[in-house]
Amino acid sequence: MDLEKKVDSILSSSPKVIILDMEGVSYISSMGVSVILTTKKNLEKTGGVFIMANLQPQIKKVFEIVATLPNLRIFASIEEADVYLGKMQQDEIEKKKPHLD
């Protein structure tokens, strides 16, 4: 995964801060969430700070859900988790669209 390789390269230089600009991210899979959470954990182990900025509402919602279920396994597979995350993000996008009633 490109993100994982890039992050590993950055972490190898022992940064004090990593800022992840999420402005162009409109969808995140369970694998992407995993890479981000692992990065945060590894950086904080060394006293560093991890920051995410410019999260789209649907991406923010994913991290809110993940934070409320930190140790639960609620999906039978990665594919099932990705289907759920995709649906949840699409629902959040639909909430933001103007409705013609």
For tokens 């904080």, name the residue.
44
| 70 vs 80, higher pLDDT | 80
| Closest to 61 measured CA to CA, from 6, 19, 22, 100 | 22
Which pLDDT does position 32 carry in this prediction?
A: 92
Q: Which CATH code is given to the segment(s) 2-96?
A: 3.30.750.24
Digit-coded pLDDT (tens) for 2-43:
888 998 899 899 898 888 888 899 999 989 998 998 998 888
In the predicted structure, residue 72 carries a pLDDT above the cut 80: no
Averaged pLDDT of the chain: 82
Which pLDDT does position 50 carry in this prediction?
A: 85
Is residue 18 within 8 Å of residue 71, measured between CB atoms?
no
Q: Which two tokens stand for residue 8?
A: 């590993």
Q: Which two tokens stand for residue 41?
A: 């954990």
Domain definitions of the chain by residue range: 2-96
